[in-house]
């Protein structure tokens, strides 16, 4: 954190506000129940069935942050951002296609990218970027159930703290308008065993187009 703070203070900062939209390939791993013996002792712990549910959906998010460059020609830099998103998907059980859960997709992430604006022409440039983003991502089904206290819960929630890798291309126009395409790939799911969603892990590959206005 000290290194990042020092770098930030040395680089020029430019605030940006953007919106992304695109396609998501949604995957849910589901944990089987523990096999228990006499007295409730666990004989065989449950394990995750990978890609037990698959879905295809769409997602939009709003993001804001600052970008920083280290050279006067703005070839190399980095940016950090906060992003919040919403979308829709239909999760389909891969053992029984009749079991389907139309669901909301949500995300709230903090991210960091390395920026390389490699081709300059006037106030325009074409570049590459890559980095990571992490936070809370998942789905909440439209279907609900009520417990004995008449409290309402989603039938099929899958909220996972997770980290995604990011890579993309960027076109900067008139030094203020960034048009981008980015691919996001899940690289790590954090342990959520202490939550109500411990039996499901949400993973999604996302392909997003975006626009950012850089002040």
Tens-place pLDDT, residues 124-134: 999 999 999 99
The rounded distance, in Å, linking the Cα atoms of 189 and 60 is 22
Cα pseudo-dihedral 23, 184, 101, 140, rounded to 10: -120
pLDDT at 45: 46
Contact 27, 164 (CB under 8 A): no
- Confidence check: pLDDT of 61 > 70: yes
pLDDT at 195: 54
- Confidence check: pLDDT of 43 > 50: no
Whole-Å CA distances, 197 to 69, 136, 161, 192: 40, 12, 10, 7
- Confidence check: pLDDT of 40 > 80: no
For the chain, where are the E strands, in sequence order? 12-31, 35-36, 42-44, 48-69, 76-93, 100-121, 124-141, 144-146, 152-154, 158-173, 177-189, 200-214
Whole-Å CA distances, 190 to 33, 164, 167: 20, 11, 21
* φ, ψ (nearest 5 deg) of residue 39: 80, 5
Confidence tier at 37 by pLDDT (50, 70, 90): very low
The rounded distance, in Å, linking the Cα atoms of 81 and 92 is 32
Task: Find which of 83-92, 117-126, 183-192 is predicted with most confidence, using mean pLDDT.
Answer: 83-92
Instruction: Indicate the pairing of strand 42-44 with strand 48-69.
Output: unpaired
pTM comes to 0.82
Tens-place pLDDT, residues 145-201: 777 777 777 878 888 889 999 999 999 999 999 999 999 999 988 765 555 556 788
Q: Which helix (H) or strand (E) holds 6?
A: helix 2-10
pLDDT at 147: 72
Contact 90, 97 (CB under 8 A): no
The rounded distance, in Å, linking the Cα atoms of 112 and 68 is 11
pLDDT at 93: 92
Whole-Å CA distances, 13 to 60, 138, 189, 196: 26, 32, 31, 40
Q: Set out the domains of the chain in order of their start, with CATH numbers.
A: 2-214 (2.40.160.20)
Confidence tier at 47 by pLDDT (50, 70, 90): low
């Amino acid at each position: 954190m000290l290194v990042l703070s020092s770098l930030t203070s040395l680089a020029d900062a430019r605030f940006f506000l953007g919106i992304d939209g695109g396609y998501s390939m949604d995957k849910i791993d589901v944990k089987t129940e523990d096999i228990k013996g006499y007295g409730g002792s666990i004989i065989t712990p449950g394990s995750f069935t990978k890609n037990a549910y698959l879905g295809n959906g769409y997602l939009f998010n709003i993001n804001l942050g600052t970008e920083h460059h280290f050279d006067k020609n703005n070839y190399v830099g980095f940016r950090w951002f906060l992003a919040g998103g919403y979308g829709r998907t239909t999760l389909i059980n891969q053992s029984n296609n009749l079991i389907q859960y139309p669901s909301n997709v949500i995300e709230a992430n903090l991210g960091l990218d390395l920026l390389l604006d490699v081709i300059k022409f006037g106030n325009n440039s074409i570049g590459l970027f890559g980095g990571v983003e992490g936070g809370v991502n998942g789905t909440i089904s439209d279907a609900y159930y009520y417990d004995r206290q008449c409290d309402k819960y989603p039938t099929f929630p899958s909220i996972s703290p997770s980290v995604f890798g990011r890579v993309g291309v960027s076109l900067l126009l008139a030094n203020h308008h960034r048009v981008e395409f980015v691919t996001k790939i899940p690289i790590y799911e954090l342990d959520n065993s202490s939550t109500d969603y411990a039996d499901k892990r949400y993973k999604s590959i996302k392909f997003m187009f975006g626009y950012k206005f850089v002040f």
